A = this chain, B = another copy of it.
Amino acid sequence: MLRISKLTDYGTLILVHLASVAPNKPCPASEIAAGTGLALPTVQKVLKKLARGKLVVSSRGADGGYRLAREPDAIDAAEILDVLEGPLAITECSHDDSHCELESNCQVGGAWQKISRAIRAAMTEIRLSDLRNPPTEFPLRYTILSESGHLGRTDK
**Are A133 and B145 touching (Cβ within 8 A)?**
no
Given A3-B88, A122-B144, A110-B139 contact (CB < 8 Å): no
B140 with A125: CB separation less than 8 A: no
- Interface residues in A, total, Cβ within 8 A: 69
Tell me the smallest distance from the CB of A65 to a CB of chain B, in Å: 18
Is A90's CB within 8 Å of the partner chain B? yes
Pick the 10 closest A-B CB pairs, nearest first: A109-B134, A139-B147, A1-B81, A125-B152, A118-B142, A122-B142, A16-B107, A111-B131, A125-B144, A37-B105
Q: Which residues of A contact B (CB under 8 A)?
A: 1-4, 6, 9, 12-13, 16-17, 20, 35-38, 77-78, 81-82, 85-92, 101-102, 105-112, 114-116, 118-123, 125-127, 130-135, 138-148, 150-152
